[in-house]
Amino acid sequence: MMNRRHCLGATLGAIGAGAAAGLSPLTALAANGAWPNRPIRMVVPFPAGGSTDMVARHLAQGLGERLGVPIVVDNRAGAAGNIGTDAVAKSSADGYTIGLVTSGPLVNNKFLYKSMSFDADKDLAPIALVCEIPTVIVSNPNQSKLRNLKDLIDMARANPSSVSVATPGNGTIGHLSLAALSMTSGVKLQDVPYRGDTPALTDLLGGVVQAISAPVSAFIPNIQAGKMRALAVTSQARFPGLPDVPTAKEQGIDLTATVWLAVVGPAGMPAPAVQLLNAEINRVLESAQGKSKLQQYGAVVATGKPELLRQRIQADAQKWQQVIQSAQIKLD
């Protein structure tokens, strides 16, 4: 019996014929009966209900409709995303297991942990970038006169032991962003790690800490309601959901820090499956509904070819390795 990889290769001619007839390549491949002809599992290495899970479920619905098979979300949380990502890396490379993974397990974790059960560069196949979420630095307008990022840095320079900034935990993008800010500004900002955004928010509103550095998705409603003041976002361009908040770069501070989400599969996936999944994922995300939905989650669509994802992994590895080693951040 012909295995799936050979079967995929044998149907490339049918793909071209289907595309010429007005069908998308994946639709043509599915219509030929080769792949997919049963549900696809999408592993999410974080708990249900979080921002990564919500993006995954939105993507799974749209992608499943285009493929004509269910995309089943499988939450495998633990070890900062390593457990679920390892499950993807060790799954069969037949195209029926993929993962929606963040830049943590794909890039940062190998510098944070002494040992890893998988090699993201060798054991995973890049499929598609999905979106990115910038970090934001916020203060409590009722407790502080801080109005921008320069004010925070000036306060820390004048009072180095009295300025504390909460983060969602050691090794999170909020923590790494704060460490990068300290390196860039030359001013030591005191990191106060919490177990998630909610307890950090509670202490900010209570005046225990002066600011929070965390992904913007957790704080959009409070910023819009005026309960928190956004000092800066750390994306290249302003975040569409908060158009009045300047970037760090606009304020003369060379800082960019985002957590990005991407679809990957186990190494050895058939190239046609990777290429065609990439095409359909991009179509789902670039639709008006796709962009609008992701913005609700505090994310900005970031699509491209698999090669672009590989380049992003390599570029971020160089950047965050330097920050992590300089700040001596470890998770074990």
Q: Are residues 180 and 101 in the same domain?
A: no
Burial of 121 (0-12, 13-18, 19+ CB in 10 A): middle
Confirm if 195 and 278 have CB atoms less than 8 A apart.
Answer: no
Does residue 247 share a domain with residue 138? Answer: yes
The per-residue pLDDT for 22 is 47
- Report residue 283's pLDDT band, with 50, 70 and 90 as the boundaries: very high
Average pLDDT over all residues of the chain: 90
Within a domain: 151: yes
Q: Encoding tokens for residue 75?
A: 């939450």
208: pLDDT confidence band, cut at 50, 70 and 90?
A: very high
Give me the number of domains the chain comprises. 2
What whole-number distance in Å separates Cα of residue 224 and Cα of residue 194? 23
Q: Clarify whether residues 205 and 270 are in a common domain.
A: no
Residues 183 and 42 in one domain: no
- Single residue among 251, 281, 315 that ends a domain in this structure: 251
pLDDT of res. 21: 45
- Domain-embedded: residue 183: yes
Choose the final residue of a domain: 251, 269, 298. 251
pLDDT in tens, 160-172: 778 899 999 999 9
* 156 or 20, greater pLDDT: 156
Confidence of residue 200 (pLDDT cuts 50, 70, 90): very high
**Which CA distances in Å does 175 have to 53, 116, 121?**
21, 21, 24
Q: What percent of the chain has pLDDT over 90?
A: 82
Residue 11 domain flag = no
Give the CATH number for residue 300. 3.40.190.150
Range of the domain at 113: 24-31+38-132+259-327
- In the three-class reduction of DSSP (H, G, I as helix; E, B as strand; rest coil), residue 255 is classed as coil
Q: Which of 322, 10, 31 is nearest to 183 (CA)?
A: 322
Same domain, 288 and 221: no
Structural domain includes residue 6:
no
> Do the domain assignments include residue 9?
no
Whether 56 and 147 share a structural domain: no
Higher confidence at residue 206 or residue 101? 101
Neighbours of 331 (CB within 10 A): 16
Whether 233 has a pLDDT exceeding 80, the answer reads yes
Q: Tell me whether the omega of the peptide bond preceding residue 47 falls within 30 degrees of 0, making it cis.
A: no
Q: So what's the pLDDT on residue 14?
A: 43
Residue 74 · residue 44 · CB < 8 Å: yes
Cβ(178)–Cβ(164) below 8 Å: no
Q: What is the mean pLDDT of residues 266-288?
A: 96
pLDDT(61) > 80: yes
Taking residues 34-59, report their average pLDDT: 94
| Residues 210 and 279 both lie in one domain | no
Is residue 305 included in any domain, yes or no?
yes
How many percent of the chain have pLDDT more than 70? 90
Domain of 222, CATH number, reads: 3.40.190.10
Q: Is residue 181 part of a domain?
A: yes
One domain for residues 298 and 198 = no
pLDDT at 27: 53
> How far apart, in whole angstroms, are the C-alpha atoms of residue 274 and residue 312?
17
Model confidence, pTM: 0.87
Residues 184 and 82 in one domain: no
Closest CA to 174 of 192, 149, 147: 192
At 82, is the pLDDT very low, low, confident or very high (cuts 50, 70, 90)? very high
Mean pLDDT of 30-47: 86
Q: Which residue has the tokens 């990005």?
A: 260
Q: Is there a single domain that holds both residue 166 and residue 240?
A: yes
Same domain, 245 and 267: no
The helix or strand, by DSSP H or E, that contains position 195, with its residue range, turns out to be none
Say if residue 69 is in the same domain as residue 125: yes
Crossing angle, helix 271-286 and helix 288-296, to 10 degrees?
A: 80
Q: Domain boundary residue among 227, 251, 275?
A: 251
Does residue 8 lie within any of the structural domains?
A: no
